[in-house]
Amino acid sequence: MGTISKRGLAALAVASVLPLAFGSFSAAFAKDKVKIAFVGPLTGAISPHGIGGRNSAELAVKLMNAEPNAKYEYELVVLDDECKPNVGVQVVTKIASDRSIIAAIPHYCSATAIATVDIFNRFKMPMVVWAAVLPEITYAKKYPEVHRVSGILIGQNRIGAQFMKARGYKKFVSFADSTDYGKSMNKYFTQFTLENGNEILGSFSVPPDQQDLSAELTKIKELNPEVIYFGGLTPLGARLRTQMAKFGINAQLEGNSGIMGDAFVNAAGPELAEGTLTFFDSPPMSKMPGGKMFSDAYKAAGYSEPPEAYGPFAYVATRLVMETIEKVGPDRAKVTADLGDVKDRPSIVGPVTFDDHGQNITPLTTSYVVQDGKWVVWEESEYVSGKRKLKNLP
Amino acid sequence: MGMIGQHLLNGLMQGTIYGLVAMGFTIFFGVMNVIKFSHGDVLTLGAFGGLVAVWAANALGLSVPLQFIVALCVAMALTAVVGAGISHFLIMPLRNAPPLNMLLMTMMVGTAIREAIRLFFPNGTNPQRFPELLPAGGFNIGPSFFRTDAIILIIAGAASIGAVYWIINHSKFGLAMRAVAEDTETARVMGIDFGRIIPLTFALGSITAGFAGMIYALYYSEINYSMGLLLAVIGFTAAIVGGLGNIWGAIIGGYLFAGLQTFVVAAMPSMSDYKNVFAFVLIIVLITWRPTGLLAERGSERV
């Protein structure tokens, strides 16, 4: 065995110590990775909304990860619920049973959300709904895990009924999809419209994927309403508008948050969409407290798809979950407890305050009308000045 | 019920689409004893082919009538080639296999076509707006509004049904087809080119699907990757009700199904959500009453 020189020994010592030193050095700067899940319809007819929400949630994660003071590095696990309750149950069970995922930002579609709330409760996984507006999601049961930043459809229908009464409309027909969401829309539309002393000539309910509406529209034409109320989502809404025109039905179309967004105007076409009314629980992005920041950041991120109406809410829900994890750590029970106490939390859509059912109580219902292929706030539209007119005004 | 004329027109329009789909099923079964479950997806493929053709024709600056003709030709040619291809490469090699294998294989082919459209067509998961190529508007007769495009499409649909009937019953190809349907071995002994007649038969059946796809696209101004699914179920049901293997049975089955759907909505608007349930339940009763179909027992000649 040969001898080792002093210099060789020193080099060996340095060589053996260096990796340890660098290891501990980099470990001091590495952040723990925390997984959160986003669930929405990424395929199928509702996918423009799901993709807009996904991009917005992803943007929130990117911006948080870029913050030097953030304690954790966040990873967004994205899953597709196809806007189908059975698929929603599968994907939510998958993420809820994965203990490495701390919280979820789920669902655009109410029919899917109402099918999965029990799973979040059973697996004790905190979540913040980003879009689905069915009241029962938060109010049917008192689950501490369930929260929602978007509004509920009761307010939209109340404001909508008042709006139509103020314009002098009296004769309505209801056309809703046959999901829980559509039924609930029809229920509150009927309640507020009748309370206002107006008349509902008929109510129609069709599956959301029904293509042929000719039999229903024939009956509606016979009833000759001034207004057709629509309670459903974009694909069926656009189909209704297209086929109304083909049947020569000149009624005013009254929608709600289900058709809010660029996707409806694109699917129906700007000409047919013109004058469609909608009541949505948020002011336009330009009037949101952080609307400009969100809009600029979204543009800078280079997404090719628009955020759609609920993108800012997906951003807020994701941001809220991450802020809570920053505060209490990546622990499901602690995150659930802390989300329950959210009051006047600043966000890009305005302050978020959860009531005792986890429902954000501060959304502002705003009336919109399609003008030249864009959703415009009613008060700022040419319909107010009288330059353009709604259909069938009495 | 002041809108009886309108409901009648609606039912005729839907019945024409269902009848065309059912006619394809009956041609395949009549000649080869094959239930080709990819038929609805071939229809979808035809409609998407027509859409691409319209885009291309529009980009080339062709007039709207020319765009319409190009779209129709492309949709029918595409479905003919795909139908003939399915029969040559997939059905013929399996012709001696159990019928269940054939059924499963055609279902899988249909799924592959459907998913390929969803994945590879630009923005394929979303409904696609189909340009309006027929004259818009219409006219009123009493309280009923008769859409010009619907009348054109119903006449075109009826003409195509007549054309297929003529091909089968009065052309040389039709004679060969009927001979194969009647007795394959004897037909071959008599010099009928079996390997040519079968793909041509499938091409003919698939052309009806391509035509139905175009009628659907033009009438609703919207197509989507899964539109063939329910149409295939309804078309197949209509073929069974009429008597699988009997062309007129298929047509009657198609109009019957559309009539039942329309009747539910017209008579009970609040029950419109249940129109498919109601129609299928009545069809079940009908099949139980006449298991071989409405017309099959009367005339035994197939196709």
Distance from CA of A49 to the nearest CA of B (A): 11
Token pair 């008042």 is found at A162
**Could you tell me the pLDDT band of residue A2, with boundaries at 50, 70 and 90?**
very low
**CB pair distance less than 8 Å for A211 and B261:** no
**CB pair distance less than 8 Å for A203 and B270:** yes
Q: Name which of B221, B224, B274 to mutate to probe chain A: the one with the most chain A Cβ atoms within 10 A of its Cβ.
A: B221
Average pLDDT over residues A94-106: 97
Residue B288 has pLDDT above 80, yes or no: yes
Residue A210: the pLDDT is 87
B143-187: per-residue pLDDT in tens?
777 889 999 999 999 999 999 999 999 999 999 998 988 888 888
Average pLDDT over residues A267-285: 93
**CB pair distance less than 8 Å for A215 and B220:** no
Residue A267 has pLDDT above 80, yes or no: yes
A6-28: per-residue pLDDT in tens?
555 455 455 544 444 444 444 44
B247-282: per-residue pLDDT in tens?
888 999 999 999 988 888 778 877 777 888 888 888
- SS3 assignment, position A103: strand
Compare A142 and B274 and report the one with higher pLDDT.
A142
Phi (first) and psi of residue A78, to 5 degrees: -105, 130
Q: Closest to A48 (Cβ–Cβ): which among B126, B136, B262?
A: B126
Average pLDDT over chain A, rounded to an integer: 91
Total H helices, total E strands in chain A: 15, 12
Residue B2: the pLDDT is 58
Residue B261: the pLDDT is 87
Average pLDDT over chain B, rounded to an integer: 89
Of all residues in chain B, what percent carry a pLDDT higher than 90?
53
List CB contacts (< 8 A) between B118 and chain A: 43
List CB contacts (< 8 A) between B143 and chain A: 221-222
Cα B29 vs. chain centroid, distance in angstroms? 14
**Could you tell me the pLDDT band of residue B296, with boundaries at 50, 70 and 90?**
low
DSSP string, B250-297: HHHHHHHHHHHHHHHHHH-GGGGGGHHHHHHHHHHHHHHHSTT-SSTT
**Could you tell me the pLDDT band of residue B116, with boundaries at 50, 70 and 90?**
very high
Q: Name which of A46, A87, A210, A222 to mutate to probe chain B: the one with the most chain B Cβ atoms within 10 A of its Cβ.
A: A222
> d(Cα A167, Cα A164) in Å, to the nearest integer?
5
| Inter-residue contact A215 to A247 (CB < 8 Å) | no
Residue B203 has pLDDT above 90, yes or no: yes
Residue A25: the pLDDT is 46
**CB pair distance less than 8 Å for B220 and A212:** yes
Residue A342 has pLDDT above 90, yes or no: yes
Residue B34: the pLDDT is 86
In Å, how far are A272, A383, B95 from A243, measured between CA atoms?
A: 10, 24, 44
Comparing alpha-carbon positions, the chain B residue that sits nearest to A177 is B273
Q: Which of B185, B198, B294, B199 is nearest to B245 (CA)?
A: B294
Of all residues in chain B, what percent carry a pLDDT higher than 70?
97
Would you tell me which residues 243-272 of chain A have a C-beta closer than 8 angstroms to some C-beta of chain B? 243, 246-248, 267, 269
Residue B298: the pLDDT is 45
> d(Cα B181, Cα B301) in Å, to the nearest integer?
9
Burial tier of A385 (Cβ tally within 10 Å: 0-12, 13-18, 19+): exposed
Helix (H) or strand (E) holding A35: strand A32-40
Residue A22: the pLDDT is 47
| Inter-residue contact B123 to B224 (CB < 8 Å) | no
Measured CB to CB, residues of chain B less than 8 Å from chain A are: 2-3, 6-7, 10, 13-14, 118, 125-127, 129, 136-138, 143, 145, 147, 149, 216, 220-222, 224, 226-227, 261-262, 264-266, 269-270, 272-273, 275
**Could you tell me the pLDDT band of residue A29, with boundaries at 50, 70 and 90?**
low
- The amino acid present at B92, given as its one-letter code, is M
Residue B153: the pLDDT is 95
Q: Closest to A218 (Cβ–Cβ): which among B6, B138, B261?
A: B6
Burial tier of A388 (Cβ tally within 10 Å: 0-12, 13-18, 19+): middle
B27-55: per-residue pLDDT in tens?
998 888 888 999 999 999 999 999 999 99
Average pLDDT over residues A116-127: 97
Average pLDDT over residues A130-159: 96
Give the DSSP letter of residue A360: B
Residue A7: the pLDDT is 57
Average pLDDT over residues A99-115: 96
- SS3 assignment, position B39: helix
List CB contacts (< 8 A) between B269 and chain A: 202-204, 216, 219
Whether A174 and chain B come into contact, CB under 8 Å, resolves to no
